[in-house]
Amino acid sequence: MIKTRFAPSPTGYLHIGGLRGALYPYLFAKQHKGKFVLRLEDTDQSRYVKGAVENIIQTLQKIGLEWDEGPYLDKTLNIKQKGRFGPYFQSQRLPIYQQYAQKLIDSGQAYYCFCSTDRLEKLRQLQQGQNQPSKYDGCCRRLTEKYKSAKFKIQNSKLLVNDRPAVIRLKIPQSGEVRFNDLIRGEVKIQMEDIDDQVLIKSDGFPTYHLAVVIDDHLMGITHVIRGEEWISSTPKHILLYQFLNWDLPKFAHLPLLLNKDRSKLSKRQGDVAAEDYLKKGYLPEALLNYVALLGWHPSDDRELFRLKELIKNFDLSRVQKAGAIFDSDKLNWFNCFYIKNKPDKELLRLAKKFLPDVPDKLLDKILKVEKSRLSYLAEICDRAGYFLNLADYEPEILIFKKSDGGTARLALEKVMDRLNGLKKWQPEKIKQALAAVVQENRLTNGDVFWPVRVALSGLKQSPPPEEIMAVLEKDESLTRIQSALDKLKK
């Protein structure tokens, strides 16, 4: 059975890259009727961001990704865990990691390192000065024999070996290479000499990511490790750990980087990237999922619109590209606009109410019908609804169409007033016919008539067609606004 996982570190809120990091393994597991796990990799306590755990879980839940195992928030927003292989927070699994670290020490595949931070810093500076990559020089390797049967203990959050503070390092073989076949990138090869003797257990007894990820992926039965490209250079270390522990290797797939439009790495500095911010602004989960799914993958035809179920069916890991994928917020807006436009009226009203809680349902519903095809995200409704609720003052000059003049605008508005006054059925088609008749009968152009009417109704140069606005405003308010435009022109 296929089993995948999303294993974020709570070092920040869930961002767009994280969402894709969850979506791809989710899709892959679900299309193979497999299982999907959420695991929180919270062993780096110094980088822990308060609220990040809750944010990651809650955002994924709001977006509608479901996992079979891992932590989740219940209805009262308490964190619970489900699944047989827990706990799913690495910080709650320390004894497991320590036990395997001891095993690696016992088999001579890891060693204790007593080097002070001072020495390591000097080493780093020296290497930097010689333009060499920073790498542990193996100084404590020679102690392996001496400490081979020594057991470590954790006392007051300190790892001690014969009462000396230490860390545990992976003993990388001194020659040879590690090869693996990445499902996206093909064969990857790394020389042993380019791999650092990675710290596995830190001086405080916590594992590093590298040890914890391998142990958890193995114990949790993960068959496919699907994660960001930034981890590809760590994979050889992980493979060695699997080999040292006599475990079967999972398959690896490293997803392409996400880039800004200028091809720099997608970062917070260039606009929003937190998934929650998008939800708050009224981006629909289905639009986010659809757009994010296409950041690095596309089907063999030009189809672009996929709901989650269709993504499960159509996603193809072997078609994920190697090249970085560009995050384009205009494209995301296009998807969101599409899903907003196609949302059933009732649901859209419920969602939009969060942004305009004080507007009566009936009115908001009508406003939405006019505006929905133009919304990039729902929060825009606050501005867009403005003139329906309250007409702001505007300069009379904008009532005059650019190829027209004040006299024509006045004439048009007067004739429109007459016509509309007598109109019995206040419906968009009827209103439009009335305006068209004014154009015809007075030998005016569409711009001469529709433009000033639209401005009179909205106070804006850009707004939906006048008949649509009037249908929302209803007859009295529409005629009052047209009359006040006439008054402005007469002044």
Q: Which residue has the tokens 């606050």?
A: 382
Query: Site residues (CB under 6 A) for ligand GLU?
Result: 7-9, 41, 209, 213, 227, 231
Kind and range of the H or E run holding 84: none
Query: Is there a contact between 50 and 213 (Cβ–Cβ < 8 Å)?
Result: no
Q: Pull the structure tokens for residue 67.
A: 């996992």
Could you give the CA distance from residue 486 to residue 318 in angstroms, rounded to a whole number?
65
> Would you tell me how many other CB atoms lie within 10 Å of the CB of residue 180?
17
Task: Give the shortest CB-185-to-ligand GLU separation in angstroms.
Answer: 15
Q: Is 237 a catalytic residue?
A: no
Q: Using CA atoms of 14, 20, 26, 30 in order, give the dihedral in degrees to the nearest 10.
A: 140
Alpha-carbon span 164 to 150, nearest angstrom = 11
Residues 6+ apart with CB under 8 A from 361: 349, 353
For CA atoms 451, 455, 460, 463, the dihedral sign is negative
- Other Cβ atoms within 10 Å of 345 Cβ, number: 11
The residue behind tokens 């009827």 is 430
Q: Which is nearer to ligand GLU, 7 or 289 (CB)?
A: 7
Smallest gap from Cβ 149 to ligand GLU, in A, equals: 33
Q: Residue 344: is it exposed, middle or buried by C-beta count within 10 angstroms (0-12/13-18/19+)? A: exposed
Query: Shortest distance, CB of residue 67 to ligand GLU, whole angstroms?
Result: 14
- Nearer to ligand GLU (CB atom), residue 210 or residue 415: 210
Instruction: Closer to ligand GLU by CB, 7 or 259: give it.
Output: 7
Nearest of 287, 244, 215, 10 to residue 109 by alpha carbon = 244
Complex with ligand GLU: residue 253 or 431, whichever CB lies closer: 253
User: Contact at 8 Å (CB) between 205 and 192?
Assistant: no
Tell me how far apart the 2 most distant CA atoms of the chain are, in Å: 105
Q: Which is nearer to ligand GLU, 209 or 338 (CB)?
A: 209
Residue among 462, 470, 394 at smallest CA distance from 429: 470
234 class by beta-carbon count within 10 Å (0-12 exposed, 13-18 middle, 19+ buried): middle
486 SS3 class: helix
Please identify which of the residues 268, 346, 354, 403 carries the catalytic annotation.
Answer: 268
CA neighbor of 112 nearest in space, from 155, 174, 162: 162
480, 474 in Cβ contact below 8 A?
Answer: no
Distance CA 390, CA 367 (A): 13
C-alpha span between 316 and 15 (Å, rounded): 23
Report the residue number, 59 or 458, with the smaller CB distance to ligand GLU.
Answer: 59
What is the C-alpha to C-alpha distance for residues 465 and 457, in angstroms, rounded to an integer?
Answer: 10
Task: Please state the closest distance from residue 395 (CB atom) to ligand GLU, in A.
Answer: 54
* Amino acid making up residue 184: I
Catalytic sites, residue numbers: 268
